[in-house]
């Protein structure tokens, strides 16, 4: 059967040729060179190399009448000459069509245990899904694997796996498959305890001698126990009288979350736009925007008069509703549909933003946020978010090496 005359029915005869053994250069070329002598057409190919062992599968059309036995003998002889194993299975047609409702399920473990992998796979099956393919995205600093799943809709699958993930202690993200996953996106993240490991207002408070008092109010606000705007005014009032030079000191004290630079650098290389929204202060976020090459940044502004903090903020308050509003504004300015946005945050005042985004990621978040977000990342590496977008650690490192 020639390439110009493809099979007209789904039940055309095919051979599945499977090769196993120690990997080395030339195996794939050698197999198809061997098959070429029988004028077969390639229907499908899958190849995986794990710890130096290759599994190569080739689905090909049936050879010319009367030559199948010779093909089998030749392939086995070729495989034996390379100390490989070969298996050839007769059948009909191609792979069965994938079911409707397709999703990518990304699982992060630190470590990823066999027990947790079994639980995730069983829950996918129990939801009516079929696992079509699995591949590893990263082996460090976390293990990340991606399941291609078909046969069930994304939302019920996400709900089922979120419950399972919480019980077994792994992070699971479920996103619908399709071209949109490769489209240009906007990523917007919170700053305090997300992009950076600090709470900026507590850094200011340390210079004012009221760190403990401010930290207590901050924690209550992030748990959703206090109105954010009221708590903001109460905390900022404690900073009244600080010399404005404290701003430069705080900027030097800010610590980026591990993986933050890698996340932003990689997203920018891919053409993504990246922004931050913060219940903190422009005196810090403007500096971060410049240092990290961010596209957008918005936060509250500390009022400074005659070289001192007044204990007040100016302008529009960036609170829970404000963050969602800014996400929409940034998306409109970036020309990115809201469904193509990713929001990352940890506190209760991030909830509206996480819910408004196409994908909301709770990063080392409070319990109320983890329960409400599309997915949660509970490892201390911000660049783990890249795996949720289908980006592998190898791709990140290759891009870094090329730039270096």
Host H or E run for residue 218: helix 211-222
Q: Report residue 348 as tokens.
A: 């209760």
Nearest to 190 by CA among 267, 257, 107: 257
Q: Which residues contact 347 (CB under 8 A, 6 or more apart)?
A: 190, 192, 193, 221, 222, 365, 366, 369
Nearest of 332, 323, 321, 312 to residue 285 by alpha carbon: 323
Supply φ then ψ for residue 86, to 5 degrees: -130, 145
Contact 146, 163 (CB under 8 A): no
Residue with tokens 């404690």: 238
DSSP state of 97: P
* Close Cβ partners of 182 (under 8 Å, ≥ 6 residues apart): none
Helix (H) or strand (E) holding 46: strand 42-50
Cβ atoms of 254 and 200 within 8 Å: the answer is yes
If one counts every other C-beta atom within 10 angstroms of the C-beta of residue 95, the result is 10
For helices 154-168 and 114-126, the axis angle rounded to 10 degrees is: 150
Tell me which residue has tokens 């039940």.
Answer: 11
d(CA 357, CA 351): 10
Residues catalogued as catalytic: 190, 192
What's the CA gap between 391 and 262, in Å, rounded?
12
The closest of 342, 317, 320 to 330, measured between CA atoms, is 342
């Amino acid at each position: 059967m020639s390439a110009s005359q493809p099979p007209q029915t789904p039940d055309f005869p095919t051979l599945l040729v499977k090769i196993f053994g120690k990997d080395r250069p030339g195996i794939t070329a050698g197999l198809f060179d061997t098959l070429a002598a029988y004028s077969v057409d390639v229907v499908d190919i899958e190849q995986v190399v794990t710890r130096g062992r290759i599994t190569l599968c080739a689905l090909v059309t049936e050879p010319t009448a009367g030559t199948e036995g010779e093909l089998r003998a030749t392939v086995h002889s070729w495989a034996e000459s390379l100390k490989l194993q070969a298996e050839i299975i007769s059948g009909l047609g191609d792979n069965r069509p994938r079911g409707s409702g397709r999703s990518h399920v990304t699982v992060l473990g630190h470590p990823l245990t066999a027990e947790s992998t079994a639980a995730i796979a069983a829950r996918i099956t129990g939801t009516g899904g079929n696992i079509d393919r699995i591949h590893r995205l990263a082996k460090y600093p976390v293990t990340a694997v991606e399941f291609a799943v078909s046969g069930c809709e994304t939302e019920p699958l996400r709900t089922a796996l979120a419950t399972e993930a919480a019980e077994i202690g792994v992070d699971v993200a479920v996103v619908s498959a399709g071209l949109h996953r490769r489209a240009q996106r906007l990523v917007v993240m919170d700053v305090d305890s997300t992009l950076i490991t600090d709470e900026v207002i507590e850094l200011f408070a340390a210079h004012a001698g009221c760190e403990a008092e401010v930290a207590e109010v901050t924690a209550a606000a992030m748990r959703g126990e206090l109105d954010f705007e009221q708590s903001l005014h109460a905390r900022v009032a404690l900073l009244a009288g600080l010399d404005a030079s404290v701003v430069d000191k705080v900027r030097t004290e800010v610590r980026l979350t591990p993986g933050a630079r890698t996340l932003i650098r990689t997203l920018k290389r891919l053409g993504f736009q990246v922004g931050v929204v913060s219940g903190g202060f422009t005196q810090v976020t403007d500096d971060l925007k410049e240092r990290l090459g961010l596209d957008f940044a918005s936060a509250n502004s500390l009022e400074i008069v005659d070289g001192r903090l007044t204990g007040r903020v100016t302008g529009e308050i960036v609170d829970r509703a404000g963050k969602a509003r800014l996400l929409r504004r940034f998306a409109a300015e970036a020309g990115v549909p809201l469904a193509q946005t990713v929001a990352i945050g940890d506190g209760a005042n991030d909830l509206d933003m996480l819910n408004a985004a196409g994908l909301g990621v709770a990063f080392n978040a409070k319990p109320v946020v983890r329960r409400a977000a599309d997915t949660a990342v509970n490892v201390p590496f911000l660049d783990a978010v890249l795996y949720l977008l289908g980006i592998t650690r190898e791709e990140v490192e290759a891009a870094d090496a090329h730039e270096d």
